[in-house]
Amino acid sequence: MRAERRFRAVGPAVREAARTFRQQPTPAEALLWERLRDRRLGGLKFRRQHAVLGFVLDFYCPERRLAIEVDGAVHAAPEQRARDAERSKQLAAAGVRVLRLDNAEVLNNTGAALATIARAAAAHGARGG
């Protein structure tokens, strides 16, 4: 249990940021949350705007250590891509797989986005698989 607490340990600024993000979701995040909440996807528990290693993840499935990031246009910029890659690298080193979905994919083809998440969760297996 101690290792899990260290894994999730974050400061008050990160916790406050997560709270703010939960209160102000993007349309794509709000739509996806309606489909993920209450174990609606394969019985898996997802958390939204969840802090891990000092990062606020859009969605996180602790059972599969799977992070779902819903990216808007800003993530196409080269500087942001580099930051996203570094963040994903740090999370991967801690055993968290990051799946990135485009806002448009979530909004325009929600079924395909959910299928992608389900495949990623199955591929990642249970607890760090």
pLDDT tens figures, 41-66: 999 999 999 989 889 999 999 999 99
Please report the pLDDT score of residue 73 as a whole number: 64
Please report the pLDDT score of residue 71 as a whole number: 87
pTM of the model: 0.82
Please report the pLDDT score of residue 46 as a whole number: 97
Please report the pLDDT score of residue 8 as a whole number: 54
Q: Which amino acid is at 36?
A: L
Would you say residue 70 lies in a domain?
Answer: yes
Q: Which amino acid is at 75?
A: H
| Cβ burial 18-34 (10 Å sphere, 16+ → b, else e) | beebeeebbebbebbbe
φ, ψ of residue 59 to 5 degrees: the values are -140, 145
C-beta separation of 87 from 55 below 8 A: yes
Would you say residue 96 lies in a domain?
Answer: yes
Q: What is the CATH number of the domain that holds 96?
A: 3.40.960.10
Would you say residue 129 lies in a domain?
Answer: no
Count of structural domains within the chain:
1
Would you say residue 77 lies in a domain?
Answer: yes
Note down the domain range covering 90: 2-124
C-beta separation of 69 from 37 below 8 A: no
The average confidence (pLDDT) of the chain is 85
Mean pLDDT of 92-104: 95
Residue 94, pLDDT > 90, answer yes
Specify the higher pLDDT residue, 102 or 12: 102
Please report the pLDDT score of residue 124 as a whole number: 76
Please report the pLDDT score of residue 34 as a whole number: 97
Mean pLDDT of 7-17: 64
Would you say residue 86 lies in a domain?
Answer: yes
